[in-house]
């Protein structure tokens, strides 16, 4: 029997996850989406064929999985009314909200609730996401498989060893797309300075980023070795890499990710 999934919150990430599942053969009629915005619900129903509702409690009555896809600041008021039905039916709760800890969810629900905390990133919107997940001890193997299948529907999904590592996932892949967008922006602007048109600089930059990522994914060696292989002694690449390393690019990235990691922890404690 197909597990019933309820998404509370029908925004971009929820619709991407639901769409990814359906594209991989999941039954649309086994998915329910709730939201306060009726137009958002209607758009998802039209695009995906899922069930829709504005009543969270009713939508969760028969759910095997409840995906919490609302903003962190409204999470408590959304989750607390579900306490009784969650205690009765024991669905696995999957939270994709930044800064909401398992302890927060246990306080609002109960300490024996099966909980999964995860951090997807925005490329999930184009089926190319990267996500880390952590489950508490109440999550059984079937529920772990369900949670993983939902996040895997839009890209890479990996289990991490501790909840603390979710903050590292947030710093690395959760915030990571913005780092690459900044590099792309810088390269496009540099290309324009060197005389290329904006369109040419943009197309070359984006295709180069895509190609480099694909090479790294397909290769049996690490990124460091790939870099060495395209850096000919005395050549143009060596000159550029030398300047980047002289400006301490690696240290800058390490400091940036540490800052994101620390901020993730701060948000979780607020």
- Domain ranges within the chain, ordered by starting residue: 5-166, 176-269
What are the tens digits of pLDDT across the range 23-61?
999 999 999 999 999 999 999 999 999 999 999 999 999
Write the CATH number of the domain with boundaries 5-166.
Answer: 3.40.50.720
Query: Cα–Cα distance between 46 and 99 in angstroms, integer?
Result: 32
Residue with tokens 């129903």: 45
Compute the Cα dihedral for 22, 26, 32, 34 and give only its sign. negative
Nearest Cα to Cα of residue 1 among 55, 62, 52, 60: 62
Q: Residue 81 and residue 97: Cα distance in Å, rounded?
A: 18
Distance CA 78, CA 57 (A): 10
Q: Phi and psi (nearest 5°) for 129?
A: -80, 170
pLDDT of residue 268: 77
1 pLDDT band (50/70/90 cuts)?
low
Instruction: Dump pLDDT digits (tens) for 165-213.
Output: 999 999 999 999 999 999 999 999 999 999 999 999 999 999 999 999 9
The CATH number for 176-269, chosen from 3.40.50.10490, 1.10.3730.10, 1.10.10.10, 3.40.50.300, is 1.10.3730.10
CA-to-CA distance for 80 and 207, rounded, in angstroms?
46
């Amino acid at each position: 029997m197909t597990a019933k999934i309820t998404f509370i919150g029908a925004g971009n990430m929820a619709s991407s996850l639901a769409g990814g599942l359906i594209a991989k053969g999941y039954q649309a009629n086994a998915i329910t989406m709730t939201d306060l915005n009726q137009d958002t619900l209607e758009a998802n129903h039209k695009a995906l064929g899922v069930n829709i509702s504005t009543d969270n409690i009713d939508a969760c009555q028969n759910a095997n999985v409840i995906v919490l896809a609302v903003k962190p600041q409204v999470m408590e008021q959304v989750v607390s009314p579900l306490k009784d039905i969650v205690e009765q039916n024991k669905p696995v709760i999957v939270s994709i909200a930044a800064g909401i800890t398992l302890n927060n969810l246990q306080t609002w629900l109960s300490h024996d609730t099966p909980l999964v905390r995860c951090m997807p990133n925005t490329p999930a919107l184009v089926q190319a996401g990267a996500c880390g997940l952590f489950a508490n001890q109440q999550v059984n193997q079937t529920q772990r498989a369900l949670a993983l299948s939902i996040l895997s529907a839009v890209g890479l999904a990996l289990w991490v060893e501790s909840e603390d590592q979710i903050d590292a996932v947030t710093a690395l892949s959760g915030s990571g797309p913005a780092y690459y967008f900044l590099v792309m922006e810088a390269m496009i602007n540099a290309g324009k300075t060197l005389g290329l048109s904006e369109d040419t600089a943009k197309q070359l930059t984006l295709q180069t980023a895509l190609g480099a990522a694909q090479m790294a994914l397909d290769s049996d060696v690490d990124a460091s070795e790939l870099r060495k292989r395209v850096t000919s002694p005395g050549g143009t690449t060596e000159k550029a890499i030398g300047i980047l390393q002289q400006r301490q690019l690696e240290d800058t990235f390490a400091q940036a990710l540490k800052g994101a990691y620390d901020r993730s922890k701060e948000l979780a404690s607020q």
